[in-house]
Amino acid sequence: MKPVVAIVCDTSQQGPHVYHQVGDKYIQALVRCADVTPVLIPALEDPIAAADIFAIADGILFTGGYSNIQRHHYGESAAPDGEHEDPRRDKNTLALVGEVLKAGVPMLGICRGLQELNVALGGTLYPRVHEIEGRMDHREDKNAPVEVQYGHAHSVSTTEGGLLARVTGESQFMVNTVHGQAIRDLAPGLSVEALADDETIEAVSVDGAKAFALAVQWHPEWKAWEDAPSTKIFNAFGNAVREHKTNRTL
Ligand SMILES: N[C@@H](CCC(=O)NCCCC(=O)O)C(=O)O
């Protein structure tokens, strides 16, 4: 049996109903480049216990998502009306991060997932990084075709000797960019794994983690099999998940 990777869903309101959902590109990247079986975890009001998730999953993927983390989680006053938020996802993922690290379950965070890792461990975000002097606009052009939205947009430079540099074998490579928020204060216990030219933190790892614990601000899941660094990130995550499955005692 292949190892299982759990993905906590986004929620969205469709008419009178709440739906739980995960983008297909995350599922495809896990299947094709990590060789694991993805399972979707609904973002319940009363979150499923971490132990119950770990009983069925050998790794956790924290995906990207169009919603923004509610600002009170990182000490800011509420966002203006109309902000796209997903409090249910916040409640589920922010609590799960600490449990994942405590249990030594391998994790990969992508975009919102990186932001969740940072906020869960006590870091803060820029709610609109493009409004900060000297920073680039890291958002996609929503009117462009999706291939352009998720096409290479800027380079990142990896930290020498760091996890991401070892996984990709690269000191610099091109990434896409689809985010309006970004790390402001790095949480204690995280290390920078890559920076953009404007100093935006693009990847982090967890110091002294018991298992693979990497998060990136860009979207390696987008056609991961066509982009060498993306393939390597998912390969490395898959290998860590396989190792955890082999060694776990529960
Ligand atoms: N909303 C946050 C997070 C950005 C993010 O995760 N974007 C992903 C978009 C949808 C997807 O590709 O899954 C921000 O804007 O910083």
Q: What is the pLDDT along the chain (250 residues), one digit of tens a residue?
A: 999 999 999 999 999 999 999 999 999 999 999 999 999 999 999 999 999 999 999 999 999 999 999 999 999 999 999 999 999 999 999 999 999 999 999 999 999 999 999 999 999 999 999 999 999 999 999 999 999 999 999 999 999 999 999 999 999 999 999 999 999 999 999 999 999 999 999 999 999 999 999 999 999 999 999 999 999 999 999 999 999 999 998 7
Q: What is the predicted pLDDT for the residue at 250?
A: 72
Cα of 228 vs centre of ligand 1, distance in Å, is 22
The pTM of this model reads 0.98
Exposed, middle or buried, 82 (CB in 10 Å: 0-12/13-18/19+)?
exposed
Spatial distance between the Cα atoms of 203 and 84, rounded to a whole number of angstroms: 24
Ligand 1 atom closest to the CA of 178, numbered from 1: 7
| Domain interval for residue 17 | 4-247
**What is the edge-to-edge ordering of all strands in the sheet holding 107-110?**
37-41, 4-8, 59-62, 107-110, 213-216, 201-206, 190-196, 154-158, 172-175
Cα of 111 vs centre of ligand 1, distance in Å, is 6
**Strands 17-21 and 10-14: what pairing?**
antiparallel
What's the number of domains the chain is made of?
A: 1
Q: What is the predicted pLDDT for the residue at 152?
A: 98
Task: State the virtual CA torsion across 142, 147, 149, 155 in degrees, nearest 10.
Answer: -170
The answer to whether the complex's ipTM is over 0.95 is yes
Give 130-137 contacts, CB < 8 A, sequence gap 24+.
130/180, 134/198, 134/199, 135/182, 135/198, 135/199, 135/200, 136/196, 136/197, 136/198, 136/200
Report residues whose beta carbon is within 6 angstroms of any ligand 1 atom: 23, 64-68, 111-112, 178-181, 219
- 3-state SS assignment for residue 40: strand
Pocket test for ligand 1, best of 10, 66, 74 (most atoms within 8 A of CB): 66
**Strands 190-196 and 201-206: what pairing?**
antiparallel
Longest dimension (CA), the chain: 51
Q: What is the predicted pLDDT for the residue at 21?
A: 98
Q: What is the predicted pLDDT for the residue at 249?
A: 83
Using CA atoms, how far residue 183 sits from 53, 69, 106, 138, in Å, is 28, 12, 22, 12
Cα of 177 vs centre of ligand 1, distance in Å, is 9
CATH of the domain at 131: 3.40.50.880
Phi, psi of 216 (to 5 degrees): -130, 150
Q: Are 164 and 158 in contact (CB under 8 A)?
A: yes
Ligand 1 atom closest to the CA of 129, numbered from 1: 16
Amino acid at position 9, single letter: C
